């Protein structure tokens, strides 16, 4: 079952998501539904350890090629498969660009195993059941605004 169709996260949006999450060098970011790796690349540039998982093996191959081209592949671990195959307990930040239903399904599965101080950041869609800390409308072009939502893992 798909949690969302693929829609690329623009680089300025990825940067703002990680700014809002206050991702620090040495922290671990988990991107569920990592697509072509835009968020992973930004996390690696910031000195974070990045883990991406996507059901699409094709998208994981694209992400891997992009990260190699950018010379960031060493800092990123990619997994082709269901998000349930990863261990989220080591994540400081989890990023999502799924549907509201997809976000909520992921959160319901992860909430018992993620750290209580883990920050969750969603692009455009809410995470039902998680505690919203901050929401902002981010205008990255004069014609395109995106919502970025920061949540706390603990409710």
| Site of tokens 């992400």 | 63
Distances from the Cα of 107 to the Cα of 10, 15, 37, 41, 92, angstroms = 23, 22, 21, 23, 15
Range of the domain at 89: 14-152
2 has pLDDT over 60: no
Number of structural domains the chain divides into: 1
In a domain, 116, yes or no: yes
CATH number for position 128: 3.40.50.150
* pTM > 0.85: yes
If phi > 0 it is left, if psi is from -120 to 50 it is alpha, else beta; for residue 80 that is beta
pLDDT digits (tens, 9 = 90+) for 8-48: 778 999 999 999 999 999 999 999 999 999 999 999 999 99
Which whole number is the average pLDDT over 85-113?
A: 90
In a domain, 6, yes or no: no
């Amino acid at each position: 079952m798909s949690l969302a169709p693929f829609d690329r996260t623009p680089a300025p949006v990825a940067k703002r998501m990680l700014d809002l999450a206050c991702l620090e060098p040495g922290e671990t970011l988990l991107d569920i539904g990592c697509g072509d790796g835009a968020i992973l690349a930004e996390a690696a540039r910031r000195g974070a350890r990045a883990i991406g998982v996507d059901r699409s093996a094709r998208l994981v191959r694209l992400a891997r090629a992009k990260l190699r081209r950018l010379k960031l592949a060493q800092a990123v671990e990619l997994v082709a498969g269901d998000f349930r195959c990863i261990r989220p307990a080591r994540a400081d930040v989890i990023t999502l660009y799924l549907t509201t239903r997809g976000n909520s399904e992921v959160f319901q599965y992860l909430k018992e195993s993620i750290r209580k101080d883990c920050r969750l950041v969603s692009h455009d869609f809410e995470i039902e059941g998680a505690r919203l800390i901050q929401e902002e409308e981010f205008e990255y072009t004069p014609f395109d605004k995106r919502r970025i939502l920061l949540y706390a893992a603990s409710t």
